[in-house]
Amino acid sequence: MPANETAPPVKKKGRRARLIVLVLVLALFAGLGYGAYWSVDSVRASFPQTTGSLDVPGLTGTVDVKRDARGIPQLYADNDDDLFRAQGFVHAQDRFWEMDVRRHMTSGRLSEMFGSGQVETDAFLRTLGWRQVAQAEYDTKLSPETKKYLQAYADGVNAYLKGKSGKDLSVEHAALKLSDDYRPEQWSPVDSVAWLKAMAWDLRGNMQDEIDRALMSSKLSQAQIDELYPPYPFDRNKPIVEGGKVEGGKYTPQGGSAGSGQGSGTGSGSGSGGANTIGTQTSTATGSGNGNATGLAGNATAQGATVGLRTQLSALADSLDKIPAILGPNGSGIGSNSWVVAGKYTTTGKPLLANDPHLSPQLPSVWYQMGLHCRAVSAQCQYDVAGYTFSGMPGVIIGHNADIAWGMTNLGADVTDLYLEQVKPEGYVFDNKVLPFATREEVIKVAGGASKKITVRTTNNGPLVSDRSEELATVGTRAPVASSAPDRGDGYAVALRWTALDPGKSMDAVFKLDRAKSFEEFRKAAADFEVPSQNLIYADTKGNIGYQAPGRIPVRGQGDGRMPAPGWDSKYAWKGGKDSNAGYIPQNEMPWEYNPSRGYIVTANQAVVESGTGAGKYPYLLTTDWGYGARSQRINDLIEAKIKDGGRISTDDMRTMQMDNSSEIAALLTPMLAKIEISDPGVRAAQKLLDGWNYTQEPDSAAAAYFNAVWRNILKLSFGDKMPKELRLEGSCMNVIGNGTGPADDLAKTVRECGTRDADSAQPDGGDRWFEVVRRLVKDEKSQWWSAPAKGLNNPATTTRDELFARAMADARWELTAKLGKDQSTWSWGRLHQLTLKNQTIGTEGPGFMQWLLNRGPWDVGGGEATVNATGWNASSGYGVTWVPSMRMVVNLNDLDKSRWINLTGASGHAYNAHYTDQTTMWAKGELLEWPFGKDAVEKATVDTLTLKPAGS
Tens of pLDDT, residues 631-657 = 999 999 999 999 998 999 999 999 999
pLDDT in tens, 914-942: 999 999 999 999 999 999 999 999 999 99
CA distance to 83, 722, 773, 801, 802, per residue, from 780 (Å): 62, 18, 12, 8, 11
Tens digit of each residue's pLDDT (9 = 90 or more) over 340-357: 999 999 999 999 999 999
279-325 pLDDT, tens digit per residue, is 323 333 333 333 333 333 333 443 445 555 666 666 666 666 666 55
Distance CA 633, CA 603 (A): 10
Q: Tell me the pLDDT tens digit for each residue of 549-594.
A: 999 999 998 888 888 888 899 999 998 655 455 689 999 999 999 9
How far is it, in rounded angstroms, from Cα 862 to Cα 695?
12
* Contact (Cβ atoms closer than 8 angstroms) between residue 745 and residue 739: yes
Question: What single letter denotes the amino acid at residue 826?
Answer: T
Q: Taking the CB of residue 287, how many other CB atoms lie within 10 A of it?
A: 23
Three-state SS letters, 874-900: CCCCCCCCCCEECEEEEEECCCHHHCE
pLDDT at 38 over 80: no
Q: Residue type for 298, please?
A: G
Contact between 148 and 52 under an 8 Å Cβ cutoff? The reply is no
Task: Give the span between the Cα atoms of 446 and 822, in whole angstroms.
Answer: 51
Q: What is the pTM of this model?
A: 0.89
Q: How much is the pLDDT for 9?
A: 37
Give residue 187's pLDDT band: very low, low, confident or very high (50, 70, 90): very high
Chain-wide mean pLDDT for the chain? Answer: 85
Angle at 950 between CA 942 and CA 400, to 5 degrees: 45
> CA-based diameter of the chain, in Å?
84
pLDDT at 153 over 60: yes
Q: What is the DSSP letter of 199?
A: H
Which distant-in-sequence residues (6+ apart) come within 8 Å of 611 by Cβ? 271, 272, 286, 287, 288, 617, 618, 619, 620, 621, 622
pLDDT in tens, 516-529: 999 999 999 999 99
If pLDDT is split at 50, 70 and 90, which confidence band does 842 have? Answer: low
Q: What's the rounded mean pLDDT across residues 859-865?
A: 96
